[in-house]
Amino acid sequence: MMLLYLDASCLNRPFDDQAQPRVRQEAEAVLRILKRVCAGHDGLVWSSALTVELGAHPEPDIRAELLSWAGRSRRSMTTDTAVRLRVEQLVGFGLKPLDAAHVAYAESARSDALLTCDDRFLRQARRARLPLRVMSPIEYMEELSDV
């Protein structure tokens, strides 16, 4: 079982406009991953950053659905001094503060991977050579099919 941290771009992807093939593929990958979480094949990590970010969704029904995943998580992370210091360090590497927070929480939870649909975040995380694997949901599902 893999312990996964899905950032807000992943969790929001199934609610995005599905007209573009890439968005549709990412949404399908995210839905498959969430089914794996429900089946107990993967574990979900939640954080206070996700609660804040997803809690700002303008659509009440979608916001409620997104926040319901907190109850399905295996680990729920809150801010402590180590997380704060790691966020500062990651921002120094060029990550946006919210992306840095997601990485810090995922690392603190000892996640196997952080999944994102944000290309800029993916590029910056790879440049920073993080110990945590940061990948797209499509890459994650492709890895599973290779095993």
Contact 44, 74 (CB under 8 A): yes
Strands 113-115 and 75-77: unpaired
**Mean pLDDT of all residues in 42-62:** 96
Contacts of 108 (CB under 8 A, 6+ apart): 77, 80, 82, 83, 86
The Cα 49–Cα 98 span in angstroms is 7
Mean pLDDT of the chain: 95
- The residues facing 133 across adjacent strands are 113
Contacts of 44 (CB under 8 A, 6+ apart): 3, 4, 5, 6, 37, 69, 72, 73, 74
Give the range among 57-61, 96-100, 128-132 with minimum mean pLDDT. Answer: 128-132
Q: Is a pLDDT exceeding 80 seen at residue 63? A: yes
Per-residue pLDDT at 75? 85
Task: Give the predicted TM-score (pTM) of the model.
Answer: 0.95
Q: Is a pLDDT exceeding 80 seen at residue 146? A: no
Per-residue pLDDT at 72? 93
Per-residue pLDDT at 147? 58
- Give the CATH number of domain 2-146: 3.40.50.1010
**How confident is the model over 124-140, as pLDDT tens digits?**
999 988 999 999 999 99
Q: Is a pLDDT exceeding 80 seen at residue 111? A: yes
**Mean pLDDT of all residues in 32-53:** 96
The Cα 30–Cα 58 span in angstroms is 21
